[in-house]
Amino acid sequence: MQNFVFENPTKILFGKGSIAKIGSEVKRLGNRVLMVYGMGSVRTSGVYEQVLNSLKESGVDIVELPGVKSNPLLSKAKEGIELARSKKVDVVLAVGGGSVIDTAKTIAAGARADHDPWEFFVYTKLVKEALPVLVVLTLSASASEMNAAAVITKDETCQKFSVRSPLIQPKTSILDPEVLFTLTPSYTAYSAVDIITHMLEGYFTNSETGESPLQDRMIYAFMRTLMEATEKSLANPKDYDARANFMWSGTLAFNGLTTAGMGVVGFPVHMIEHSLSALYDIAHGAGLSIMLPGWMAWSAKKNPARFARLAREFFGVAETDDAKAAAAGIAKLKGWFGSIKSPVSLKEGGIPEGDIEKIADNAVELARTWKLKDYTKEVIVDVLNHCR
């Protein structure tokens, strides 16, 4: 295990009825809040009314920014930045999932900057200050509620890039599992895939060369709990314990805990998937269920041992040959994705196989930005060919 620093300053309020506490949490940080939310599901689910009532009871002035879409756009964040400045808000509150939270984070940083916020995402400018961000979580997938990252798509160029700064990490996040009761089966599945991919990219790409039994077994436990919770949630959407385990697993999967001590970690699956969701507006989790098994199959050809380990220790594969064990484990994961009705090929995702070159051209720009030097256009094409 390598040296590391683990610090996670986000306060979590978890459980039934916890949304009622958001007003007092906002009030600790300011008197006027920009409430950012999506395309209307927070209203139909009743979350909007709960949040609004709590804010009003705490005497907070409310400015609203509705209309954030999945695969959030920079143009919407810029609209929020102008609103935050003109209304002189003190706090940004995200009521939603990863797309809404990432938009709120971009607004929080951009409102205090004197340049185009896109410069944060191409790393030509650092976040030096930001408005405080708070969250009422309505979709568990990205773990943006407890980490310092944000992802946004630049409309004009279809580039889906990310920024990371401790200044945009949420101060408080409220997690009430009951809000997941109304989640559709497809988004329950896509969310599970996103959570699993976060953990497995750290598992496969880290630079730790020694044994890592604690981190590995932590990932196995989170994955097993999540997969069980997903199946129970699909069978009974109002199973509170299943939704609670799902929600907490998603948060812990990508808050620095599972990769602590594992050295440098890369995210090539997310890197290539960002092009799928930017170019075709496919749900992020659906894109990941296409990319992850394909990337694993491509990567296992070079070094099957780590993939064989997952197959044996998690999926119970008995095969002694590493290459065959790795292939069996990948097939089991792919099969599980299929069982929850998440697409596992470009064709199933409605993405033209003839567009592979186009996708690679888009992805290689992010590979350069993320310094994934081994991922040339030719390599990305090869990975995508494993996703047909």
Average confidence (pLDDT) per 10 residues, the chain, 388 residues = 94 98 98 95 93 97 96 97 98 97 98 97 97 97 97 96 97 98 96 97 94 95 98 98 98 95 96 97 97 98 95 97 98 98 97 95 96 96 97
pLDDT recorded at residue 211: 87
Q: What is the DSSP string of 121-158?
A: HTTSS-------EEEEES--SS-GGGSSEEEEEETTTT
Asked if 165 contacts 220 with a C-beta cutoff of 8 angstroms, the reply is no
Largest CA distance in the chain: 65
- For 283, residues 6+ apart whose C-beta sits below 8 A from its C-beta are 70, 186, 187, 190, 277
pLDDT recorded at residue 87: 98
Q: How far apart are CA 45 and CA 161, in angstroms?
A: 30
What is the three-class DSSP state of 72? Answer: coil
Q: What are phi and psi of 127, to 5 degrees?
A: -75, 115
Q: How far apart are CA 286 and CA 268, in angstroms?
A: 16
Other CB atoms closer than 10 Å to residue 376's CB: what's the count? 14
Asked if 35 contacts 133 with a C-beta cutoff of 8 angstroms, the reply is no
Q: How far apart are CA 199 and CA 206, in angstroms?
A: 11
Q: What are phi and psi of 65, to 5 degrees?
A: -130, 90
- Written as six digits, the tokens of 211 are 């044994």
> Which residue, 213, 197, 195, is CA-closest to 205?
197
Beta-strand relationship, 149-154 and 159-164: antiparallel
- pTM of model > 0.85: yes
> Which amino acid is residue 279, in one-letter code?
L
- CATH architecture of the domain 11-178 equals 3-Layer(aba) Sandwich (3.40)
Q: Note the CATH number of domain 183-385.
A: 1.20.1090.10
User: What residue segments make up the domains of the chain, in order of their start?
Assistant: 11-178, 183-385
Asked if 102 contacts 152 with a C-beta cutoff of 8 angstroms, the reply is yes
Cα 10–Cα 11–Cα 14 angle in degrees, nearest 5: 125
> Which residue, 296, 276, 293, is CA-closest to 284?
276
**Quick check: do 11-178 and 183-385 share a fold?**
no
- For 26, residues 6+ apart whose C-beta sits below 8 A from its C-beta are 33, 55, 58, 60, 91, 93, 134
pLDDT recorded at residue 350: 96
